[in-house]
Amino acid sequence: MKKKINNILKGKFLVDEEAFKNWRMIIFLSVLALIMIASSHRADEKVHEIARLKEKVQELRSESVDARLKLWKLKIESNVARKMESRGVLPSNTPPKKIKVKTKQE
């Protein structure tokens, strides 16, 4: 048992007559490790991208709410009347009347 551990630590399994089988396994495991590392990095990049996009969506939502609030304030009748006074347009003192149009029936 001790001899086998020493042979592994010294790397004798790489230069034996059956070393070709060992090298194939080592290369296979190395390729699998590289694929696993690359996959992990891609997953991390996607997680960071998702977090960045969520933050951007939240920012755009808050901008949308601010814009909607500003529009609502601009549409208030008192604000519209105040802005139109400078142009000489004043609100009517008489309320609007409904006009009914009668058509001739044949």
Q: The domain containing residue 60 runs over which residues?
A: 2-85
Q: Give the pLDDT band of residue 29 (cuts 50, 70, 90).
A: very high
pLDDT, one tens digit per residue, over 7-18 is 778 777 777 777
Residue 94 forms part of a structural domain: no
Give the total number of structural domains in the chain: 1
pLDDT tens sequence across 78-99: 888 888 888 888 888 888 889 9
Helix 19-75 and helix 77-85, axial crossing angle in degrees, nearest 10: 60
- List pLDDT tens digits, range 16-27: 777 777 788 889
Looking at residue 7, its pLDDT comes to 78
Nearest CA to 34 among 42, 46, 22, 23? 42
pTM of this structure: 0.54
- Chain-centre distance of CA 27, in angstroms? 39
